[in-house]
Amino acid sequence: MFWKYILFGLLVCSFLVIGCVTNPQSSLGSPATSLTPVGISETPLPPTVIQGVEVILQETRTIPKNEQYRWRLSLSTGQRVVIDIVTDGTAVDFVMLNLTNYEEFETAFVSKSGSLWDEYVILKTNITKERVEVKVPRTGNYYFVIENADIIPGGMQAIRDVAVTIKISTLD
For residue 76, the 8-state DSSP code is -
- Higher per-residue confidence, 30 vs 127: 127
Examine residue 1 and state whether it is found in any structural domain, yes or no.
Answer: no
Examine residue 45 and state whether it is found in any structural domain, yes or no.
Answer: no
Q: In this predicted structure, what is the pLDDT of residue 109?
A: 84
Q: Per-residue pLDDT averaged across 97-126, rounded?
A: 80
% of the chain at pLDDT higher than 70: 66
Any bridge partners for residue 85, and if so which? Answer: 130, 166
CA distance 35 to 16: 9
96: CATH: 2.60.120.680
Kind and range of the H or E run holding 108: helix 99-111
Examine residue 46 and state whether it is found in any structural domain, yes or no.
Answer: no
Domain that holds residue 127: 53-171
Examine residue 21 and state whether it is found in any structural domain, yes or no.
Answer: no
The count of structural domains within the chain is 1
Examine residue 14 and state whether it is found in any structural domain, yes or no.
Answer: no
Return the minimum-mean-pLDDT range out of 5-14, 26-35, 161-170: 26-35
Q: In this predicted structure, what is the pLDDT of residue 122?
A: 87
Examine residue 134 and state whether it is found in any structural domain, yes or no.
Answer: yes
Burial 59-93 (b: 16+ CB within 10 A, else e): eeeebeeeebbebebebeeebebebbbbbeebbbb
Examine residue 86 and state whether it is found in any structural domain, yes or no.
Answer: yes
